[in-house]
Amino acid sequence: MSDTHEHAAGDSVPELKQRIRELEGMLHACRLRLPNAPADAVRELAESEERFALAVRGTNDGIWDWDIRTNKVFFSPPWKSMIGYEDDELENVFATFETHVHPEDHERVMSILNDYLAGGIPRYSVEFRFRHKDDTWRWILARGRALFDDQGKPYRMAGSHTDVTERKQAEEELRQARRAADAANSAKSAFLANMSHEIRTPMNGVIGMSELLLGTDLGQTQREYLEMLKLSADSLLELLNDILDFSKIEAGRMELDAHEFDLSEVVTEISQAMGIRAFQKRLVFLHHISPDVPLRLIGDDGRLRQILVNLIGNAIKFTHKGGVTIEVSLEAETADRVTLHFKINDTGIGIAADMRESIFAAFTQAETSTSRRYGGTGLGLAICHDLVALMQGRIWVESQPGTGSVFHFTAAFGRATGTSLKSRKPRIKPVVTVHSSMKVLIVEDGHVSQLVGARMLEKRGHVVTLASNGREALERCGKETFDAILMDVHMPGINGYEATAKIRQTEQATGRHVPIIAMTANAMKGDREKCLASGMDDYIAKPLRSAELFHVVEQFAKRSATPEPALASPTSSAPTPPFDLAEFRESTGDEKLMLKLVGIFSEDSQKYLRKAEKALAAGKARPLYEAAHSLKGMLGVYAARQALEIVSKLCDDAHAGDLKDAQLMLDQLKKECALLGDALVVSFAPGI
């Protein structure tokens, strides 16, 4: 065989014809020497050749047959017409193929071909652009097989060309359509995220103002309307937060913010907060962390809280009798990571089997009547689902309609090493801080936000100075010293970051450090870090909530060594601790009972105050005495010393029929009760 090829290189046509005749003669001789050669086999061979020829003609594919040693190639007429040429217009050499391949595809095609011929890959199949006679590009799918000699060297390769231009175009169109859809979707998510973010700012005004109004003298109807307004505003804000989270996740802008935290702190705080709701519905509420669960973890405790609050909130919402339990156990652990398994168990209405998957999709509720009966939007579980995925976990539910549900989720955390790491400051101090009046500078360009912040702090007994931009703030700071500065971040002119930097600069000379708290409606990832990095001490999100505001500001209060005298005069505006937590704890003896008492404080105290008010307006001493007496009994439980002193005096006076100071005392009592209400919320209901 190899002889044949060596000769072939320089052969001329007559010599070739001669050679073919010789070979045909040899073939004939072979046949004669094989007298038993079955006639069937010969016929089958002929038929199969015919079938092949038909198949080749029948497809639009082009056929090529390449003699690797001579570089000559047979290109079938369809091979050539595929790129617009007549048979005689193209030379039958390898270069014809090579020069038509798109320059950008050339290297790839040649390397695949060489790899195949060298035995590196099992199949030759490659797609590339191929130049048409009219200078356009066609997409070709080339496939082929080679024959190898005894030494494993390829000497011949043949195969086909298929025009796949239309398929390629369709694929490309699909890709483009998908890109456009993705872009539209993330534009939508970004729009939603920005929008809900923007709406939070005016919500500041609505919520803050209604909180302030609630603290003033109001008629019964006005109060009821206003409470409804406040409730609606609160749920609107909750909804906005959900939409913001969900769209952030969709736009791929949600990231976890990992740091060290204490798991038992998280679970206990949430249980305390949610426990109030459970108690109001007379549900049993328990939580348990397995002893083998490591408590010092690294992860995003804020997002973990969010998942728990959502699931526990749902459990309480959909349960009418029985109770809710939370269990945390260890699923898996390595030297530096732990996977925890959380279980939220309720004895509520349960979920039908066909809804158990879909409730984790956005805007899905188990029944169409759910929204009407229980409220909600169906976003909570979708957010939980995505947050859990970010924590490398999964979420699922087991449920029996009418019996209850168990929501499970797993989440992975880093394990905090050693004890050297500083823990983050606890979100809530277990003891009410003794706060003395502070001088606070509010730097804020929005009039409504200014007013809300200022009134809340003033009502609490602090002295507030206002600055409406960064420049004014710097001027003020040059003249006076403040105990704390609340600094808006986005302001025209000198913004909050710049103003802070300037203040910190001048402080280098004096060695002082005024606590600066950033106020911002930004809830985007990294804002907190940015504020802290620019020299601020803490961060509060708008809309401002009084409990949170007091907590953040008053953590910087200078603890006075000599606490102010309790109720020096009933008109004193400097607040002293509204109640004694230790005594309250001792007299109740039970955390759960305390929580319950915290939950009912506002409503009950308001009830007695309104009774007293009504009696006084009618000039009736007896019912005034009764109301004051009930209030006195109640305030005793909370160990609210100042309020008790006032109410005792009111009781005595009313008993004696003396009403001349009654109005003054009643006003004082109202203020005290409002303070006490705030203080109780701050102490017992973190994060809400």
Q: Which residues of 135-161 are buried (b: 16+ CB within 10 A; e: fewer)?
A: eebbbbbbebebeeeeeeebbebebbb
Number of chain residues interacting with ligand ADP (CB under 6 A):
21
Nearest CB to ligand ADP, comparing residues 378 and 496:
378
Q: Which is nearer to ligand ADP, 377 or 606 (CB)?
A: 377
We find the least distance from the C-beta atom of residue 381 to ligand ADP, in angstroms, to be 3
Query: Helix, strand, or coil here: 306?
Result: helix
Quick one: 2 exposed, middle or buried, by C-beta within 10 A (0-12, 13-18, 19+)? exposed
Q: Considering beta carbons, is residue 355 or 567 the nearer one to ligand ADP?
A: 355
- Least distance to ligand ADP, CB of residue 366, Å: 3
Q: What's the closest the beta carbon of residue 278 comes to ligand ADP, in angstroms?
A: 13
Q: Which of 503, 497, 499 is nearest to 481 (CA)?
A: 503
Question: How many other β-carbons are positioned within 10 Å of the β-carbon of residue 664?
Answer: 13
The mark string for 515-554 relative to ligand ADP (x by CB under 6 A, - otherwise) is ----------------------------------------
Given the complex with ligand ADP, which of 18 and 400 has the nearer CB atom?
Answer: 400
Give CA–CA dist 643/570, Å, rounded: 10
Choice between 366 and 485, CB closer to ligand ADP:
366
Minimum distance from residue 599 beta carbon to ligand ADP (Å) = 21
The per-residue DSSP string of 44-73 comes to: HHHHHHHHHHHHHHHSS-EEEEEETTTTEE
Query: How far is Cα 266 from Cα 272, in angstroms, rounded to an integer?
Result: 10
CB 303 within 8 A of CB 337: no
Nearer Cβ to ligand ADP (215/378): 378
| 463: helix, strand or coil | strand
Contact assessment for residue 360 and residue 307, using Cβ atoms and an 8 Å cutoff: no
DSSP per-residue string spanning 497-566: HHHHHHHHHHHHHH-----EEEEES---TTHHHHHHHTT-SEEEESSP-HHHHHHHHHTTSPPPSSPPPT
Tell me which residues in 312-331 interact with ligand ADP (CB under 6 A). 314-315, 318
Residues 638, 80: Cα–Cα separation, whole Å: 97
- Picking from 363, 333, 353, the residue whose alpha carbon sits closest to that of residue 396 is 353
- CB of residue 687 to ligand ADP, shortest distance in Å: 18
Q: How far is the CB of 360 from ligand ADP (least distance, A)?
A: 8
Backbone angles phi, psi at 135, to 5 degrees: 70, 10
Binding mask 291-310 for ligand ADP (x = CB under 6 A): -------------------x
In the complex, least distance from residue 370 CB atom to ligand ADP, rounded to whole angstroms: 4
Alpha carbon 16 to its chain centroid, in Å, reads 78
Asked if 249 touches ligand ADP (CB under 6 A), the answer is: no
Q: Closest distance between ligand ADP and the C-beta of residue 231, in Å?
A: 16
Closer CB to ligand ADP, 206 or 351, in the complex: 351
Rounded alpha-carbon distances, angstroms, from residue 480 to 358, 429, 437, 483, 557 = 59, 30, 16, 10, 17
Chain residues 337-376 in contact with ligand ADP, contact rule CB under 6 A: 346, 348-351, 359, 365-366, 370, 376
| Residue 216 φ/ψ region, left for φ over 0, alpha for ψ in the -120 to 50 degree band, beta for the rest | beta
CB of 505 to ligand ADP, least distance (A): 48
- 31 vs 320, which CB is nearer to ligand ADP? 320
Q: 397 or 615, CB closer to ligand ADP?
A: 397
Minimum gap (Å) between residue 197 Cβ and ligand ADP: 20
Residue closer to ligand ADP by CB (options 404, 578) is: 404
Which whole-number Å values give the CA distances from 634 to 268, 625, 628, in the listed order?
27, 14, 10
Q: Which is nearer to ligand ADP, 327 or 583 (CB)?
A: 327
Q: How far is the CB of 349 from ligand ADP (least distance, A)?
A: 5
Nearest distance, CB of residue 217 and ligand ADP, angstroms: 36
Which residue, judged by CB position, is nearest to ligand ADP in the bound state? 376
Which is closer to ligand ADP, CB of 410 or CB of 450?
410
Residue of 648, 676, 459, 684 whose CA lies nearest to 580: 676
C-alpha 676/C-alpha 611 separation (Å) is 19
Tell me if 320 sits within 8 A of 280, measured CB to CB: no
CA atoms within 13 Å, Cβ hemisphere of 51: 6
Q: How far is the CB of 651 from ligand ADP (least distance, A)?
A: 46
CB closer to ligand ADP out of 370 and 648: 370
Residue from 356, 331, 297, 324 nearest 409 by CA = 331
516-520: strand order across its sheet: 463-467, 439-443, 484-488, 516-520, 538-541
Q: Which of residues 370-429 bind ligand ADP (CB under 6 A)?
A: 370, 376-382, 405
Bridge partners, 148 (sequence order): 154
The residue ranges that bind ligand ADP (CB under 6 A) are: 310, 314-315, 318, 346, 348-351, 359, 365-366, 370, 376-382, 405
